[in-house]
Amino acid sequence: MQEPVITRTTCPYCGVGCGVLATRAPDGTVSVAGDPEHPANFGRLCSKGSALAETLGLDDRLLHPEIKGKRAGWDEALDLVAETFATTIAKHGPDSVALYVSGQILTEDYYLANKLMKGYVGSANIDTNSRLCMASAVAAHRRAFGTDTVPATYADLEEADLIVFVGSNFAWCHPVLFQRVLAAREKKGTRLIVVDPRRTATAESADLHLSLEPDSDVPLFLGLLKSLEAAGCRDAAYTSAHVNGAEDALSAAAPFSIARVAEATGLSQADLAAFYAEFAATEKVVTIFSMGVNQSDSGTDKANAIINCHLLTGRIGKPGASPFSITGQPNAMGGREVGGLANMLAAHMNLEDAAARARVQRFWASPAMADKPGLKAVEMFEAVRAGRIKAIWIMSTNPVDSLPQADRVREALELCPFVVVSDAIRHTDTTAYAHVLLPATAWGEKDGTVTNSERRISRQRAFLPQPGEAKPDWWQIAEVAKRMGFSGFDYPSPAAIFREHAALSAFENSGARDFDIGAYETISEVEFEALVPVMWPQPAGAEAQETRFFAQGRYYHGDGKARMVPVVPRPTSKARSERYPLWLNTGRIRDQWHTMTRTGKAPRLLGHYGEPFCELHPEDAAAQGIEAAGLMRVESAHGAAIVRALLSEKARKGSVFLPLHWTDQFAAKARADALVNAAVDPISGEPGYKRTPCAIAPAAMAWHGFAVSARKPQAVASEYWALSPAAEGWRVELAGSTAPEDWQTYAATLFGLGGDAEWLAYQDREAGLVRLAAFEGEKLMGALFVSPQPVALARGFVTEALAERHSGMARYRVLAGQGGAGSPDHGAIICACFQVGVKQIIAAIEAGAASVEAIGAALKAGTNCGSCKSDIRTLLAKTPPSSGERPDRCTHADNDHDGGQRPFDLTPGLAREAVEA
Ligand code: SF4
C-alpha cells in the first residue's frame, strides 16, 4: 500500500511566512498542518493557512493559454507576446512596454522578470503590487540606513518588554506572530500599545490604545522624539558614533509639545504622556509598523519618524529593541531582494548609482541597462491610460481591484493595445481585459523560494502535478525572453536561477552591501531541494547565523552612519468637505486574502464575514438614517459601493472602514479600491489607502433576498448581490429596488434550472414575502427567501439543506427555513479553525464558561490560531453567565417563520453586529 507523502513548504499568504506540512494521501487528497520545525510558526497556522487544502480545487483554474478568449497553444501565445513586445519596443522605445508583477510570485520568477526588463529590454518599467503595501518602508529604510534592511528578527517580539503596533492589525493580518506575542506576554508581561484609529482586534488586547486621527502619525512620533530627548533618553555614545542628523531631526520636532500633538492627533494629553513615558522608560522596545503607516501620502515620513526615535535612543538591532516593518505579502521581501520595484536594482543595489548599474550589467553580460527609475504602479497604469505604455504583462495580480481609483485602471486596460495576464485563475476582474492569457502554476505546484518579514528565506515546494498546461512564471518569462532574441535565459530549474541570484548578491560585494547570500551560489539541485529556512545575510564561507543589523552601527550610507531624517507633517491634497464629510479607510479582514481568488474558495473562510460590509460608528449611521444590517452606499469622488452596514463602536467617529477583498466576481458593487484616492507618497509612490473623503447614505431597496443554489449563479439580476461558496453549492444575498414580475422565473434563472424542477412556493403579496424551493428528485437545487426587510433566517440550516435529501415534509422544512430538533443552528462562524458559531459560544457562556480558556476547553474555539479570541472576549463581556440575556440586537424578526429562535443568523456580518452593538 502506498504511503502518504509529506512535503515541507511555506504558506502563500502573509509575510509571516509560516512553514506548512502538506500531506498527499494515496487517493490524492491533501491535508495541511503547521510545520513544527519552521522557525516562523513552530507548528501553528492561522485560519487562512489551516484552510489551504480547501483552496486547491481546479474549479475556475486557467489551464490553457488563450488568445482573445480562444484556446491557443503555448508556442502561438508566447510567440505573440514576444513579437508584440519586440515590435512595440522597436517602434516606440523600451519605455513603451511594462511588466506589473506581484509579491505572490517566487523570488526566482521575480529575479527573471527584473533581469528581462532592466537588463535586456533596457527599461525599469517593472513594478509590483508590493508598491501598494510596503514601498514606504523601503524608502524610509533607504533614507535612514542607506539600504533596505530590516534590522530585527521575530525573536525580538519575545525579547521585548514593550511592543508598539502602529497601523498594524497584527491579530488579524499576522495572526501567528500575534500568538507568539501573546504567549510571550503571558510569560513575562510584555506591554502592548496600539496606535490605530480603529479599535481593532489587536487594540482589544492592548494595554493602551491610541485612537488617533487618520494619518496623524508624524506629529505623534515627532512628539515622542522631542519627549525622549527631554527625558534624557538619547544614547549619546551611539548617536555620535553611528548617526547623523540628530540635531536637525530634533529641531524639526521641537514645536511638537504634547499640547500640539494632542491637537493634531485628537488624542488626550494624558494618553500621550502615558505613551511617551512608557516608551522612554523601556529599553527593550519594538515598534511594529505596517499598512497604516505605509499606505499614506506621508508614509515614508511616518516610517522615518518612527525610525528616528529608535536611532536617537540606540534601540535598534538589539535583542528586543528595534523598529520593525512587517510586510503584507508572502514574498514582498524576495521582490525587494531582486530589485522588483521600478526604482531598485537587483541584490539591493541602487538604480541611481552608475557603478552599481555597470556592475549588474557586467554580471548579466546583458545588452542594455535601464539608466533611470521606471514608472511606479499608479504612474504605470496612468501611462497605460494615456497611451504611453502600449503593451503590458501583468503577472499574478489583480490591479483592476487593487489599485486606487480602480475604475481608471479598468479603463486603462480597456484602452491598452496589448495586455498579457499570467494567472492561475481564469476569471478575475483583470483577466477580463487580457488579449493573451497565460496559465500559471499555483501554490502546491510552484517550486522556488520566498522571503518573510524577518529576512528568512524558505522553500515553497511542489506537491501537486502542474494541471492542464499551466507553467511556472519563471518559465514563461524565460521563453518570452528567448523568443525576443535574448541569450542568458536558459535555466533548467528554479535552483539554477537561485544560484545566479545568490552569485549576484555576492558579486563585488565584500561586505559593502547588506544582502549577501553568496553561501548558495554553488548550491546543487539536491541541496536546493533540501534547503532549510535560513535568514540572510549568508555570505560565502560564513557559518549559518541569525543576524540583527545595526547594533554596532555599520550602516550603508557612504560614511557608514545612519541618518535621522528631519520630517514635518506634509500638506495633503485630501480634505473632507460638505459633500464628502467622512474618512474612508480600507483594509483586510481576518479570514480573507487579497481579492479572494484563493480564500474565496473555502466556505469556512466566508463564515466569519459572508458579504461585503462597511464598519461605521452608530452615531455616524444614525446621522444618515442607516440601520444596522441595512444596505448602505459609500461614495467618494472616484467611485461607489453598496454594502451591508456593520455598526460598531470600535469604529472611530467620522471614519468608515471597507474591506478590500470583494470584487465583481463576488459582489455587485463592492470594489473598495474603486473609491480610494490615488494620491501617493511623493517619495515612495505608495498610495494612501487609509484616508479618502467619502459620504454615506442608506441604499433603499424594495426587496431583500437570501438564496442558496446547488449551481453557481452566473448572472444575478439585482442591484445588490453577494456570492459565497458553501460546501455543496452557493449562498447569495440579494436586494433590488424593483421586484421581478415573476419570482419563479427569477429564481429559475438564478439557480440555472430548466423546466424539470419541482417547485414549492409560498407567497404573501401584501406582506411582500416570497419563499420558493426547487428540487430535482430529492435534491434541493435552490431556495429563495424574499422580504421587504433584510431576510431573517437560519442561514446555516438552509445552506446545509443543499447537501441533504428531501422528500415529503422535509421539503416544507426547507421552505420554512428552519430545521427540526436535530438541526441545530450554530450561527455565524466565530472560530474558523474549528467552525464554532456565535450561538454555541453564547450557549457555553450561559452554561458557565467564564473565560476565553474555558470556552476553548468546552468548544476548542480559539485554541488553534487564536485570531477569534478578541471576538470571544467581546461575547463574554456582552453575555452575563446564566443571565438568560443574549447580546441580541437583531430587530428583523422573521414574523411567521422564526419559531421564536433568536438571535437570528441573518448574515455572518450581521451576527457580528449583534455581538458588537
Ligand atoms: Fe499563512 Fe496565517 Fe502564517 Fe500568515 S500567519 S503565513 S496567513 S498561516
Residue nearest (by alpha carbon) to ligand 1 atom 4: 14
Residue 657 CA from chain centroid, whole number: 15
Residue 544 carries which DSSP code?
A: P
Q: What is the CA radius of gyration of the chain?
A: 27
In angstroms, what is the span from residue 11 Cα to ligand 1's centroid? 6
- Res 573: pLDDT: 80
The amino acid at residue 56 is: L
Query: In this structure, are strands 285-289 and 322-325 parallel, antiparallel, or unpaired?
Result: parallel
Report the pLDDT averaged over residues 534-539.
96
- Res 866: pLDDT: 77
Report the pLDDT averaged over residues 445-464.
98
pLDDT in tens, 295-350: 999 999 999 999 999 999 999 999 999 999 999 888 999 999 999 999 999 999 99
- Res 916: pLDDT: 36
Report the pLDDT averaged over residues 124-142.
97
DSSP H helices, 661-805, are 743-751, 795-800
The amino acid at residue 31 is: S
Q: Taking a C-beta distance cutoff of 8 angstroms, is the pair 796, 784 a contact?
A: no
> What does the DSSP assignment read for 721-732?
EEEEEETTEEEE
Q: How far apart are CA 886 and CA 882, in angstroms?
A: 10
Q: Taking a C-beta distance cutoff of 8 angstroms, is the pair 817, 894 a contact?
A: yes
3-state secondary structure 137-180: HHHHHHHHHCCCCCCCCCHHHHHCCEEEEECCCHHHHCHHHHHH
In angstroms, what is the span from residue 34 Cα to ligand 1's centroid? 10
Q: Which atom of ligand 1 sits closest to the CA of residue 34?
A: 8
In angstroms, what is the span from residue 310 Cα to ligand 1's centroid? 28
Q: How far apart are CA 362 and CA 353, in angstroms?
A: 14
Q: Which of 46, 327, 443, 460 to mutate to test the pocket of ligand 1 (most atoms within 8 A of CB)?
A: 46
- 899 pLDDT above the threshold of 50: no
Q: How far apart are CA 314 and CA 284, in angstroms?
A: 11
Distances (CA, A) of 645 to 179, 626, 629, 829: 30, 7, 5, 18
Report the pLDDT averaged over residues 60-68.
97
Among the listed residues 237, 239, 260, the one whose alpha carbon sits nearest the alpha carbon of residue 309: 239
> What does the DSSP assignment read for 403-436?
SSSHHHHHHHHHH-SEEEEEESBS--TTGGG-SE
> Which has the higher per-residue pLDDT, 714 or 515?
515
Q: Which atom of ligand 1 sits closest to the CA of residue 175?
A: 5
pTM: 0.93
Cell of 792: 431573517
In angstroms, what is the span from residue 589 Cα to ligand 1's centroid? 13
Q: How far apart are CA 196 and CA 210, in angstroms?
A: 6
Length of the chain: 917
In angstroms, what is the span from residue 168 Cα to ligand 1's centroid? 15
Residue 251 CA from chain centroid, whole number: 37
Distances (CA, A) of 385 to 82, 375, 640, 815: 22, 13, 21, 51
- Res 911: pLDDT: 37
- Res 661: pLDDT: 96
Q: Which of 9, 10, 13 to mutate to test the pocket of ligand 1 (most atoms within 8 A of CB)?
A: 13
- Give ligand 1 pocket residues (Cβ under 6 A): 11, 13-14, 16-18, 41, 45-46, 48-49, 174-176
- Res 83: pLDDT: 98
- 817 pLDDT above the threshold of 90: no
pLDDT in tens, 377-397: 999 999 999 999 999 999 999
Among the listed residues 735, 857, 835, the one whose alpha carbon sits nearest the alpha carbon of residue 788: 735
- Res 879: pLDDT: 75
Report the pLDDT averaged over residues 688-705.
97
Q: What's the distance, Cα to Cα, between the start and end of the chain in Å?
A: 56
- 915 pLDDT above the threshold of 60: no
- Res 880: pLDDT: 65
In angstroms, what is the span from residue 50 Cα to ligand 1's centroid? 9
In angstroms, what is the span from residue 329 Cα to ligand 1's centroid? 10
pLDDT in tens, 662-685: 999 999 999 999 999 999 999 999
Average model confidence (pLDDT) for the chain? 92
- 195 pLDDT above the threshold of 60: yes
The amino acid at residue 709 is: S
Residue nearest (by alpha carbon) to ligand 1 atom 2: 46
Cell of 67: 488568445
Q: Which atom of ligand 1 sits closest to the CA of residue 13?
A: 7
pLDDT in tens, 81-110: 999 999 999 999 999 999 999 999 999 999
Q: Which of 174, 180, 868 to mutate to test the pocket of ligand 1 (most atoms within 8 A of CB)?
A: 174
pLDDT in tens, 540-553: 988 878 899 999 99
The amino acid at residue 117 is: M
Among the listed residues 195, 165, 192, the one whose alpha carbon sits nearest the alpha carbon of residue 265: 195
Report the pLDDT averaged over residues 697-703.
96
Q: Taking a C-beta distance cutoff of 8 angstroms, is the pair 180, 154 a contact?
A: yes
Report the pLDDT averaged over residues 359-375.
97
